[in-house]
Amino acid sequence: MLRFWKRDAKEEPGKSETSPQPAQAPAETVSAPARSWRERLASSFLGRTLRGLFERRQVPDEAWFEELETLLLSSDAGVTTTEHLIARLRKSCKERRIEDATALLQALREELLAILAPVARPLELPRAFPAVVLVVGVNGVGKTTTIAKLAHRLRREGREVLIAAGDTFRAAAIEQLKVWGERIGAPVMAQMPGSDAAAVVFDALQSARSRGIEVVIADTAGRLHNQAHLMAELAKLRRVIARFDPEAPHETLLVLDATTGQNALQQLRQFREAAGVTGLVLTKLDGSAKGGVLLALAREFGLPVRFVGLGEGIEDLEPFDPQAFLDGLLPEAPRP
């Protein structure tokens, strides 16, 4: 049954990866050259429907706008963002007397970019010895995987990273992080399951400082007994980190799963205040995500989108690049 285990190296571009990878022991850490954003996003709901729209209709008439509105709403872009976008585009088409598909595509691109560009602000960590990145979010969104990817990326840039296994509620979560740590060559500080997350993180900070490690990335639990418990735990964690360095955490990344659509907005509302979120990571944009939620997040909250997750492999984390994102979503050139 070799076929089951071995992934075909010459995978068809544009085809989303479906081969299962065990969450706790990722099979592959050295991935093939990363596929382009276009290859990953073209098959998303928004990518497919936008292409379809431009294939069927080439003039910005009433039917075109109505169809665009429907597909934006169905892609999780949300009502306010959709209405805003449609209004701006109508105005632009009128003012510029746009009548052909090429100009229409260009105008749509400009309006989408106007929403996305302001949130494309890359993660910049201070030289703080160590710089502290706290990673929060609900269970299953991809926190632990994102931490491994981020640590790998920072190490590739020449920075030493220490990972703190702050999700102490599940033994499996600690194990998962240790496996990743070994694969990417980053030390992982962990204690027994059930121990105090704040103590684990504080230990990690001290250890990093004494070893001269520049960055500490702390994992956290995604779920406690209820939402209030989770937020109280995160507040405590922040207090303990601030005792170590009043400026820390220097970044609090909220990880959101793009496939959960509008639910991601709700999670952001809950975490924003309580956890002091300073940046977002949107994962699973490669999978069955519809894509529009990124527009809603950008327009309704304006928080920096630091990275997007485009797959399960260690290399599949990219700084958010709105131009590449739009290259992936929009048709290359509408047929005349």
Ligand X SMILES: Nc1nc2c(ncn2[C@@H]2O[C@H](COP(=O)(O)OP(=O)(O)O)[C@@H](O)[C@H]2O)c(=O)[nH]1
List residues near ligand X by CB under 6 A: 23, 137, 139-145, 222, 283-284, 286-287, 309-312, 316
- Site size toward Mg ion (CB under 5 A) is 3
Q: Which stretch binds Mg ion (CB under 5 A): 15-23, 166-174, 267-275, 307-315?
A: 166-174
From residue 199 to residue 238, the character string flagging contacts with Mg ion as x (rule: CB under 5 A) and all else as - is ----------------------------------------
C-beta of 142 vs 187, nearer to ligand X = 142
Q: Which is nearer to ligand X, 137 or 304 (CB)?
A: 137
Binding mask 138-157 for Mg ion (x = CB under 5 A): -----xx-------------
Using the minimum distance from each CB to ligand X, give the nearer residue, 111 or 316.
Answer: 316
Q: Least CB distance from residue 2 to ligand X, whole Å?
A: 23
Least distance from Mg ion to the Cβ atom of residue 140, Å: 8
Nearest residue by C-beta to ligand X? 309
Cβ proximity to Mg ion, 132 vs 173, nearer residue: 173
Task: Map the chain to HEC letters.
Answer: CHHHHCCCCCCCCCCCCCCCCCCCCCCCCCCCCCCCHHHHHCCCHHHHHHHHHHHHCCCCCHHHHHHHHHHHHHCCCCHHHHHHHHHHHHHHHHHCCCCCHHHHHHHHHHHHHHHHHHHCCCCCCCCCCCEEEEEECCCCCCHHHHHHHHHHHHHHCCCCEEEECCCCCCHHHHHHHHHHHHHHCCCEECCCCCCCHHHHHHHHHHHHHHHCCCEEEECCCCCCCCHHHHHHHHHHHHHHHHHHCCCCCCEEEEEEEHHHCCHHHHHHHHHHHHHCCCEEEEECCCCCCCCCHHHHHHHHHCCCEEEEECCCCCCCEEECCHHHHHHHHCCCCCCC
Does residue 173 belong to the site contacting Mg ion (CB under 5 A)?
yes
Q: Which is nearer to ligand X, 92 or 144 (CB)?
A: 144
**Which residues of the shown chain bind Mg ion in the complex (CB under 5 A)?**
143-144, 173
